Structure 1
Amino acid sequence: MESTSEPSSGQRRIIERLESLEIKASFTEDLLDQLNMTIYRQQELIDRLAREVIQLRQQAPEGGGAAAPRNPRDELPPHY
């Protein structure tokens, strides 16, 4: 039996493949963290916008304002 400290070419290939997989896993974990943060920020924005919509609905006159007739003069700019 031969005792060598050098890995064989097959072992080197396996080591290289393992290192490549570890690098890819590291990049994948980083990307996943970035995507999770993006989703978190988007959900915060959605929640804030939903609260604003609720506030605007509460401020709107009863019936949604469609029942009240509008005066066209109210739409004219002040210089007319």
Structure 2
Amino acid sequence: MSDVNALTERIDALEMRLTYQDVTIETLNQTITEQWKQIDALTRQLAELKERLQEAESNAPGPANEPPPHY
């Protein structure tokens, strides 16, 4: 009878560990999903800023490295 009790206790302990692991995995999954959303938004924002900078540089008058007229 003690063998049955010992096995029952081991199974219960394993089930509890599995439950905690499932919760941890779900929490990590949610965290990673949120981080990827942030990374995606930042990547799009960076692409927009790069495009705007290129437009501003192409619309700028004259070359940027031109020496001043007094040289």
Q: What amino acid is the match of 2:64?
A: A
For 1:38, the equivalent position in structure 2 comes to: 31
For 1:3, the equivalent position in structure 2 comes to: none
For 1:68, the equivalent position in structure 2 comes to: 64
**TM, length-normalised to structure 1:** 0.69
Note the residue ranges of structure 1 that are not aligned, 5 or more in a row: 1-7, 70-80
For 1:56, the equivalent position in structure 2 comes to: 49
Note the residue ranges of structure 2 that are not aligned, 5 or more in a row: 66-71
For 1:77, the equivalent position in structure 2 comes to: none
Q: Report which of the two has the higher share of helix.
A: 2
> Using the alignment, how far apart are the partners of 1:9 and 1:62 within structure 2?
81
Structure (1 or 2) with the larger CA radius of gyration: 1
Consecutive aligned runs of 4 or more in structure 1 exceeding 6 Å deviation:
none
Task: Name the Cα RMSD after superposition.
Answer: 2.0
